[in-house]
Each structure stands twice: as C-alpha cells, then as structure tokens.
Amino acid sequence: MKRFHWDALVLLSAALITAACSGIPRRESDQETLDRYLRYAGPPVDRITYLGHYDNWQTVSPHQIVLFTNINDAYLITVSPPCENLQFAPRIGITQTANTISSRFDAVLVKGWRCQISEIRPIDYLRLTKDLREEHAREKAEKAGKAQP
C-alpha cells in the first residue's frame, strides 16, 4: 500500500513540474532560425573574401551553417551530402585559398569529414538585426500597453 502512495506522489510531482514548465518560452527551433536567415539571404555567390579567420558560426540545419566573418558580415553556407549532423559539431574549420572561400572547391572541416561547400549566400545581417530590434521594441510596447489598466 505504501508503494502505491509513493507512485502517486511521484506522478503528481511530475505533472506539477510539467505544468509549471509549459509557460517557459522555448528556444527558437532550427527551422525557424533557418527560415529567418533565408528571408535575408541574397542569391548564391561563387566565392567570398575574408581576413583569414571567422568570428563565429551557427548550425541551422544538418547541411547548413551561418558563418560570421566579422560582426556585420554573415553567410549561409550549404554543404553537400553525405556530410550531415553539423549541429553536433563542437568546432569547424574552413578551407580557403588566399583568404577566399569558393563554393564547389572549398570545404567545411568537421570531425574528420571534409564537407564540400555547394552554395554560399550572403546574408544582409545589418538589416536582419535592425528588423529584430524593431520587432522586440514593438513586442515590448505591446506588453507595456496591455499591462496598464
């Protein structure tokens, strides 16, 4: 009989925790992130020139990363299959020649794989960040307006 009470208590606790956590906003999904970058991505380019290092990178799908070459320049890079699961890579490398990354020639290096770059698309990152700031400001103003009686 005591076992039954213990199981009921555990189930009730789990239900309460689940209900409490349901109000916590989730992190944006990879698909939402990819869709946002695609809205600001330009047409594919054959190559990009950069200063020989990149500032950051973000995985947005199993075959795509966003490469930040500096604070304002970002590129959506797609690699050819069978290279996948970029989202699990702790770090990457990028091949280049004379500070130029070329699609169909250079590669993303990850976990011993040489993932050939099939497409490079510049992202209008300044416009993206400006639009995000405006969107957050509108949301904040709407919340403030609803909070006042």
For every residue of 17-65, DSSP letters joined together read: HHHHHTTSPPPPPHHHHHHHHHHHB---BSEEE--S--SEEEEEETTEE
pLDDT at residue 122, as a whole number = 97
Residue 16 tokens read as 């309460």
> What pLDDT, on a 0 to 100 scale, did the predictor assign at position 81?
87
pLDDT for 82 equals 85
What pLDDT is recorded for position 55? Answer: 86
Distance CA 76, CA 81 (A): 16
Contacting residues for 109 by C-beta, under 8 A, at least 6 apart: 92, 93, 94, 95, 115
Whole-structure pTM value: 0.75
pLDDT of residue 7: 57
pLDDT on residue 102: 96
* Token couple for 57: 């990178």
Note down pLDDT in tens along the chain; length 149 residues. Answer: 455 555 555 555 544 455 444 333 445 687 898 999 999 999 999 999 987 778 899 999 989 999 999 888 999 999 998 887 788 889 999 999 888 999 999 999 998 889 999 999 999 999 999 999 999 999 888 887 776 65
Residue 24: per-residue pLDDT = 38
